[in-house]
Structure 1
Amino acid sequence: MTIIDSSGDDTDPKQLGVFQADKSSGEYKEFPPTSWAIDHGTSIGVLLFFITVLGFFSYRVIPRESFPEVEIPILAINTVYPGVSPADIESLLTRPLEEELSTISDIKDLTSTSVEGYSSIVAEFEASVNLDEALQKIREKVDLAKAELPAEAEDPSIVEFSFSEIPIMQVNLAGQYDLVRLKKIGEAIQERIEQIPSVLRVGIRGGLDREVQVDVQRDRLQFYGLSINDVIEAIRNENVNIPGGSIDVGSFTYLVRVDGSIDDPTTINDLVVEAESGRPVYVRDVARVEFGFQDRTSFARLDGSPVVTLDVIKRSGYSIIETSDMVKAAVLDMETVLPPTTVVKVTSDQSKAVADMVSNLENNIISGLILIIIILLFFLGVGNSLFVAISIPLSMLLTFIVLNALEITLNMVVLFSLILALGMLVDNAIVVVENIYRYVEEGWDKREAAKKATGEVAGPVIAATLTTLAVFAPLMFWPGEVGKFMGFMPITLIIALSSSLFVALVIVPTLCATFLRLDHEPPPRLTPLVRRTLVAILVSIFTAIAMINFVTAVVALTLILLVFAVYRFFVRSISRKFQDAWVPKVIAVYSRQLESALNHRKSVVTGSILGLIFTLFLFNRFNSGVEFFPEDMPPENIMVDIQLPVGSRAEATDVVAKLMETAIDRTRGMVDVSSVVATVGGSGSGGSNPMSGGASGPNSGRVTISMVDFASRHFDARNFLADMQTSLGTDVAGAEITVEQTAQGPAQGLPINIEVTGENPEILKELSDKILSILQNNSVYGKLVGLESDLDQARPELSVYVDREKAALYGISSREVGLEALFKVSKQQNIGPEVMNTILSSDLVRNTEMNLRVSEN
């Protein structure tokens, strides 16, 4: 604040009222930025133009996403070793990896899970750790541990936890033909979608996977006196590609390569298994080689029909809405060349929620403008209400410019914060405009009135804004992943409220100094240049809105014209009567109440303190608890998770999934269901991200129920959820059925976890069973949902112990004994790829597994 001399002003002192002393002394407070802006109105006009243009441009190009781009300092190390028990997985895979990883100093928590054929280790780092450096450290330690891992195990894979890895939508394909053809159609659409620049990759699930099957015939093998291992070694030793160095011939150097790779499945028939007797025995003599399909370990259906599902994952930094629109357009283009019976259905489209929030933000801005104008018409008149209302779009446009400059996307948290800030954007402008108007009413020159009035209230307005910001600022220091996720709320609110403060103290006073007029004054005479400039600005604004959303532009223009017509013919006379008759009465009542409160200060303060104490008592007595996201919201999606005993085949799990689909179809409220997607085995999400959830393993399944939009529903989805929680799973013996809605916001894990640690798995199981029994017999059990232990039981097994000394006398190894045991027990058994995993190189069978099978004949 500065003090300036305005003794040259000859305004009548009687018009100054309470400010007569300041005016007569020739001094008044001034806020320098406001005075500079008023004295340089042309510059502010140019600034206003650039804010409008850049604001709309930023709003147009800023990416839309479901969740903020937050780096989660969690990495998963996954290793596959098919057919191995959990105990062996722990000793052979998990412990060697844990020993190396535990030496990394920045790891906050190291958690491992060992199940049949699979080891998963989750390393959680400190929040301050650089994720790229952490990833490099993990890679180095995993490389060191590889030397101790079994050769038959697959190489460990390192997976990052990231919101950007969650599929933004799923494209489901169904049709009245076999899954082989359906998958070919899916692969064609997959290739088309992956051409979109904003699409990172497209995963494909369902259908049948090709494999080269070497079907060994037991009787033919015995006839030639051969073993399974002979066939395996014959194929493995021939399907090789070995570099042979280089050789100099004349003036040239040639690379030497022994190329024995098999690029045609029929070539396997001509491989020699044994030739010691003088007559070669070929693979075709003991086996059939076919280009067939892998055994199914997963199932997927959409509304009861088998499907192939494409999981679309977008690139980071691109708009989810535009990406979704481009994917749908690409699929629509492909539909013209697809077979006529192909059904294409998009599910789990996350862009819909983002588009709804963006639409809500636009509608709230428009409705906020109209409501503010209507309300202020009755208290400040049409001119003042317009000056106040303009602060909303200007503040928002300025906010979009800053957000775009900081590379912050329009995600759920940012959009929610902007909607929350809408109601606070006009507070500062109301105070400034009302004070300026009052000085103009008292006879001050409009420019001097704008300077003086803004200078008087600038301090309190800034203090009030800082006080509001101080409430949200601590959220910026919220620790952990949730803090990173929610940290965008205070940042957005600080930007929005700071923008509104700038608009209220710089732009609004300048506009008032130029265009403000009293109700009885005639409209100001605008020069042709000013008039053309205003028209150009208005046309630019509506053109920009139309380019972003044509419907919004039409609705906004219609509402503005409607409000103007209503004001011109109805509201103007009513508002003047209200200002002349009711406003003085309201002020009089308020004055009496204020005077009474000042005369009874002790009573007012005591009553306020007692009221606060009573409010705290009521909150403590009747509050319903604390939760991060509300759980009683009508669900958008409902998950029915199926868990069968370990060792159950995928076919058995699929039978239960079909029972669930039938039961769901009979549930009251199905008219509000958009789609029902059932997945058994594999991954329920299809994404590589561990956060995406879903079924995993042949004994697991999930049925996902997607509801229609809220506006189109006939029933309360919460009742639909409650009915399914009551009815599903009661008739399925041995299966655990859990029905729940999808969680709001980011993945948070379970609300309550009881961890039991120890070295002995049997003792761990005994203790976990005791804890479960205690909770089930406690009164709190009725308040719990999904109470279970994550200690997976091992599949039942029969162990064969080899007498190595006797085996050596017969010249056989433990490996050969194992293969022969499998040979005797199984009529037809897939013993690859853990035995052999050969990749063929031709285009026809590229990246196709070769598996050995044993059959009776």
Structure 2
Amino acid sequence: MKKIISFLLREKYVAVAAFVLTILFGIFSFYRMPRQENPDITSPSALITTVYPGASAHDVEELVTKKIEEEASKIDGIEKIDSISNDNFSAVIVTISYSVDKQKQWSDLKEYIDNVKSELPSGCYEPHVDTESMVETAGMLLSVSGDNLTPSQLDYYVKKLKQNLLPIEEINKITIAGNTQKKVFVETNAMKLNNYSISIEEIYNLLQAQNLRIPAGAIDTPGGKINVNVPESFESLEDIENIIIAASERGIVRLKDVANVYFGEDDDAKKIYSKGKNAVVLAAYFKTKNNVVLVGDEIDDAILKTKNSASADLDIDKITFQPEDVKLALDDFILNLFEGIIFVIVIVLIGMGIRNALIVSVSLPLTIFASFCFMYIFKIDLQQISIAGLIMAVGMVVDNSIVVTDAVQMRLNEGLPNNQAALEGVMESAVPVFTSTLTTVAALATLFVLPGEAGEFIKTMPVVIIAALLFSYAVSIFVVPVFAAMFFRTNTKLDNYDSKTRLIFSNLLSAAFSRKKLSAILVFGIFFLSVATAVLVLPLEIFPYTDKNYLYVDVVNSKKGDIKSTYELTKDIESLLGDEKAIESIFTCVGGYFPKYYLTSAIGSDSADFSQLIVKFNLKNDKAFGKDKQEFMMHIQNKLNENITGAQITAKLLAITAPGSDIEILISGNERTNLVEKANMIKDELMNIEGLYNVASSYAKNRQEYSIDVDNSIASVMGLTKYDIQRQVNIALSGINASVLNSDDNEYDIVLKSNIASISDLENFKIKSTATGNKIMLKQAADVTLSAAEPSAQRYNKSPVIKVTAEVSKGYSAQMAQNKIEKIINLNYSDDDIDFEFGGEKQTLSKYLKGLGIAAAISLAVIFVILMIQFSSLLQPLIIMISVPLSVIGSIFGLWIFDQPFSFTAGLGLLSLIGIVVNNAILLLEYINRARRDGLTIDEACKSSVKRRFRPIMLTTITTVVGLVPLALSASSFFTPMAVALMTGLMVSTLLTLIVVPMFYSMVEK
């Protein structure tokens, strides 16, 4: 290293050239880097969906869901398996650990699910394994609506918009939701069909066979082979109506003789409304590693082009629009970054004088631009997490340069020539600066072991900070000495610059040395007081809400399967919310969820008893709530609870993590009947706990359904099988896609069903035996009875489960509420046959606090080893690490004073502090040891270390703190607690370290 530095001091143009080239490539990298809102993360969950038309929820559970769960459980690293079985539909969600190879496990999962296909019942569709949709997020949702536009016109315009958007290279795919799919219905008349020998299943087979595309072959001609093509036959309704389905002595029977063929719409399909008007939603998904900000103008052009070609009634609204959101968010973050840079430079100017400050300031842009180069080369996007890492690094990256320039200046003041002063100054500082950098890097590196999606979400932050710190070390060792040798002059004024402040600390140090035991007891007392404050006073909020002005409302209608009732209910909610001044627009989806529009927005299957509203608001329009979004959310929730009945309604802000209830109790066992009883009792207990609202159970009350009880002996005599009955009744009642009609460049599904409208119609419906060809009325071989049945069946880890959930009002603790209910359950409801598992916020808190604790332990151990190697001592590293609890004192009281919760990001701040605060103690002990070798006594060396290292320690602390000021003032629910924890922890730790570390050193060494 010494030879390299000597070479650079002789050939200064090399360092200057490297400086210029790094700045230029950094600027290039900054403009070429991809920009997006959030970092890309991979999904730990796979969704397996299976459609089984006509099957009850119980049959779906027994015949489909259980078999899929069994196969899915064979893959490695499973954390949990959730499933729900509804009529006609099974959904199984498999969640695996982030520690396993997800790609391999998903490959194995698909293979296992392929194996189970042969075991599924006849008529069941193939299971679909989806490993992307759980995290795949639409970059924008556009609603297409119009006051006087018909569904067909809306469908035309949304397809036109899609055509205009498809040429945009950055768009990966486009989906459309809520468009009314026109279909061809073939509705058989059950009474007429009874008069003929053909069955409804045979009509289905004919429709399929009539429209197959089979290559006919080719004919040899003198000119060569000419292919023969038989066109598909269905080009109009008449083609379908005129299919011959039977023939007899009386003549031929065409489909139109027993069925009505017509165009129609699916009444139970998902419907979307924009500001009360019928709408269709277009969801566009962007390619990764692209600058989504630049796409915005192209999308606006496509929207304008579509509107210009349409009638004046056409409205295209942006429900969500990432290009604008990302631009605003990144503009704010980049502004914070440059504000931090300016603040740091100003502090350095004040603390070191113009000449020295300019040299130190060189390291700041050089390190930041080098970090841009690193991000560009290693494909790290410019997004809120990586930029937050840069902002955190701004104040730290000048620390090494401050220490080096201070050492160089001291050598100059001693009368050494510039080059020699630069060389000796940097060699004196190289080891302690390297150790300081290494300890900070070690602390940040432990962030990679944080568990779950949050660990993956924030991983670009430590990567960026570590890269910046390593660049800052290289700059301070190889570049700063060159510029210092070129421009520094003897400057004795700096020695007296901070003499008054230094005198105060000298007096405090003398006082501490005179009462060492009392001072030590006082420090430990303050530490334990801060811990008590954290436990008893500081609110816990593991993950905050996002800073977006979105509110979503989930509505679960108590009338199961009634989409018309759900629509009326949702319309009442929309009307009620329309009176709110803060609400700017409302978008509604009846019968299902909107496409996934944010990293943590929920997805789910379509359901006639579910609706979702996206509410966009601006609190500037209603001063009653100030800037408190959570207060506004609670106001909306209370308003809905007071005015709307007949549904479970939940208003939520978008969260940083996956959506879920604050309180969640999973009650599982083998007998669902026992679970229902326990769930109802626990639900009643929750309703009596103050501060809880929206208490609900996932158990859906039994509903009435008709059961077809086949008399096997009679059916056998008549030649009927259960398959004959199930298949033909299923087609008649549920309908089935039989084929397609291609007309006017459009493709329409052909749905075959029956006009059965009453129980007597069903009983008189004739079933054809596949064995004998005879047709028998259903009532001759089976009884149709009314019975109770579950509308859905939930399972957790392959056992029946009921979830009891609740939300916690602002000002109340979810952890305390859950502790209370856990105590009640353990005392009153424990049962050997029933398992209770607690989820919700407490489970999340436990998971991530444990992760932070493990990371902190690893960080402390690694730092201890580094210090032990540097100081060749076991005791001195322990003395240095006293600064860690000192930082906890500052962070806890800082969060309390500034009214910030202890959140996951505040924990990140505390964890990062471990590697930062020891740096000051390293500088002190390194000088104390050197002073003692020069002949000073222990106390003299301790006091001299504070005097000699005071300015670099205070300057490095202040620059780090002011670099974080913009992040602290950003009012970000995610980053502000982290910035406050870092700033206050570092300030208090530094002030106490200057007194406590020398004092403990003196006590231990004596």
Provide TM-score, normalisation by structure 2.
Answer: 0.69
Q: Note closer, same or farther for the CA distance 1:286–1:162 as it changes in structure 2 (3 Å cut).
A: closer
Give the Å deviation of 1:353.
4.5
**1:456 correspondence with 2:417:** no
Unaligned ranges ≥5, structure 2: 762-1006
SS of corresponding position for 1:414: helix
Partners of 1:372 and 1:385 within 8 A in 2:
no
The aligned residue for residue 623 of structure 1 is 538
The aligned residue for residue 116 of structure 2 is 145
**1:770-789 deviation per Cα after TM superposition (whole angstroms, max 9, x unaligned):** 33233334xxx334454333
SS of corresponding position for 1:103: coil
The aligned residue for residue 838 of structure 1 is 739
Partners of 1:90 and 1:114 within 8 A in 2:
yes
The aligned residue for residue 987 of structure 2 is none
Give the Å deviation of 1:158.
0.8
SS of corresponding position for 2:81: strand
In 1, Cα distance between equivalents of 2:604 and 2:47: 17
The aligned residue for residue 490 of structure 1 is 462
Deviates more, 1:218-227 or 1:484-493: 218-227
In 2, Cα distance between equivalents of 1:368 and 1:686: 35
**1:697 correspondence with 2:568:** no
Give the Å deviation of 1:344.
1.4
Partners of 2:139 and 2:597 within 8 A in 1:
no
- The residue type paired with residue 765 of structure 1 is V
Give the Å deviation of 1:692.
4.1
The aligned residue for residue 798 of structure 1 is 706
Partners of 1:203 and 1:687 within 8 A in 2:
no
Partners of 1:642 and 1:735 within 8 A in 2:
yes
**1:101 correspondence with 2:15:** no
- The residue type paired with residue 280 of structure 1 is I
Partners of 1:162 and 1:691 within 8 A in 2:
no
Give the Å deviation of 1:362.
2.3
Give the Å deviation of 1:798.
1.4
The aligned residue for residue 25 of structure 2 is 54
Within 5 Å, give how 1:224-303 maps onto structure 2.
228=200, 231-242=203-214, 261-303=233-275
The aligned residue for residue 112 of structure 1 is 83
The aligned residue for residue 843 of structure 2 is none
Within 5 Å, give how 1:146-545 maps onto structure 2.
146-161=117-132, 165-176=136-147, 177-217=149-189, 221=193, 228=200, 231-242=203-214, 261-517=233-489
**1:650 correspondence with 2:575:** no
- The residue type paired with residue 592 of structure 2 is G
Please point out which of 718, 721, 730 is paired with 2:633. Answer: 721
SS of corresponding position for 2:344: helix
Q: Note closer, same or farther for the CA distance 1:473–1:637 as it changes in structure 2 (3 Å cut).
A: same
Unaligned ranges ≥5, structure 1: 2-30, 521-575, 824-828
How big is the alpha-carbon RMSD for the aligned residues of Structure 1 and Structure 2?
Answer: 3.5
Give the Å deviation of 1:182.
0.9
Within 5 Å, give how 1:457-856 maps onto structure 2.
457-517=429-489, 583-625=498-540, 627-631=541-545, 636-645=549-558, 647-667=560-580, 670=581, 672-685=582-595, 692-693=602-603, 696-708=606-618, 715-716=625-626, 717-744=629-656, 746-747=657-658, 749-777=660-688, 781-793=689-701, 795-807=703-715, 831-833=734-736, 836-841=737-742, 844-846=745-747, 848-854=749-755
In 2, Cα distance between equivalents of 1:256 and 1:137: 43
Give the Å deviation of 1:304.
1.6
The aligned residue for residue 7 of structure 1 is none
The aligned residue for residue 17 of structure 1 is none
Partners of 1:373 and 1:389 within 8 A in 2:
yes
- The residue type paired with residue 335 of structure 2 is N
**1:130 correspondence with 2:101:** yes
Q: Note closer, same or farther for the CA distance 1:443–1:353 as it changes in structure 2 (3 Å cut).
A: farther
Deviates more, 1:325-334 or 1:257-266: 257-266
In 2, Cα distance between equivalents of 1:712 and 1:46: 56
In 1, Cα distance between equivalents of 2:457 and 2:344: 32
Partners of 2:219 and 2:228 within 8 A in 1:
yes
In 2, Cα distance between equivalents of 1:519 and 1:849: 90
Give the Å deviation of 1:190.
1.5
In 1, Cα distance between equivalents of 2:84 and 2:354: 68
Give the Å deviation of 1:617.
2.9
- The residue type paired with residue 211 of structure 2 is N
Give the Å deviation of 1:249.
8.9
Partners of 2:9 and 2:482 within 8 A in 1:
yes
In 2, Cα distance between equivalents of 1:664 and 1:73: 36
SS of corresponding position for 1:202: strand
**1:253-273 deviation per Cα after TM superposition (whole angstroms, max 9, x unaligned):** 888887665343331121112
In 2, Cα distance between equivalents of 1:188 and 1:102: 45
Q: Note closer, same or farther for the CA distance 1:618–1:596 as it changes in structure 2 (3 Å cut).
A: same
Deviates more, 1:786-795 or 1:642-651: 786-795
Give the Å deviation of 1:359.
1.9
SS of corresponding position for 1:203: strand
Deviates more, 1:89-98 or 1:439-448: 439-448
Give the Å deviation of 1:170.
0.7
Partners of 2:554 and 2:610 within 8 A in 1:
yes
SS of corresponding position for 2:705: coil
The aligned residue for residue 571 of structure 1 is none
In 2, Cα distance between equivalents of 1:731 and 1:480: 39
Q: Note closer, same or farther for the CA distance 1:613–1:139 as it changes in structure 2 (3 Å cut).
A: closer
In 1, Cα distance between equivalents of 2:730 and 2:345: 83
Q: Note closer, same or farther for the CA distance 1:653–1:436 as it changes in structure 2 (3 Å cut).
A: same
Partners of 1:214 and 1:290 within 8 A in 2:
yes
The aligned residue for residue 532 of structure 1 is none
**1:694-746 deviation per Cα after TM superposition (whole angstroms, max 9, x unaligned):** 673110111111234879988433332121111103333321111121112x4
Partners of 1:634 and 1:718 within 8 A in 2:
no
Partners of 1:210 and 1:292 within 8 A in 2:
yes
- The residue type paired with residue 69 of structure 1 is D
**1:667-710 deviation per Cα after TM superposition (whole angstroms, max 9, x unaligned):** 3xx2x334211111133226899964267311011111123487
- The residue type paired with residue 796 of structure 1 is Q
Partners of 1:684 and 1:696 within 8 A in 2:
no
In 2, Cα distance between equivalents of 1:248 and 1:724: 76
In 1, Cα distance between equivalents of 2:621 and 2:334: 19
Q: Note closer, same or farther for the CA distance 1:808–1:94 as it changes in structure 2 (3 Å cut).
A: same
Give the Å deviation of 1:89.
0.4
In 2, Cα distance between equivalents of 1:421 and 1:750: 36
Q: Note closer, same or farther for the CA distance 1:257–1:94 as it changes in structure 2 (3 Å cut).
A: farther
Within 5 Å, give how 1:36-47 maps onto structure 2.
36-47=7-18
Partners of 1:646 and 1:792 within 8 A in 2:
no
Give the Å deviation of 1:221.
5.0
In 2, Cα distance between equivalents of 1:755 and 1:117: 25
- The residue type paired with residue 603 of structure 2 is G
In 2, Cα distance between equivalents of 1:217 and 1:289: 11
Give the Å deviation of 1:657.
0.8
Q: Note closer, same or farther for the CA distance 1:259–1:145 as it changes in structure 2 (3 Å cut).
A: farther
In 2, Cα distance between equivalents of 1:55 and 1:714: 46
Q: Note closer, same or farther for the CA distance 1:320–1:822 as it changes in structure 2 (3 Å cut).
A: closer
Partners of 2:233 and 2:239 within 8 A in 1:
no
In 2, Cα distance between equivalents of 1:686 and 1:369: 37
SS of corresponding position for 2:58: helix
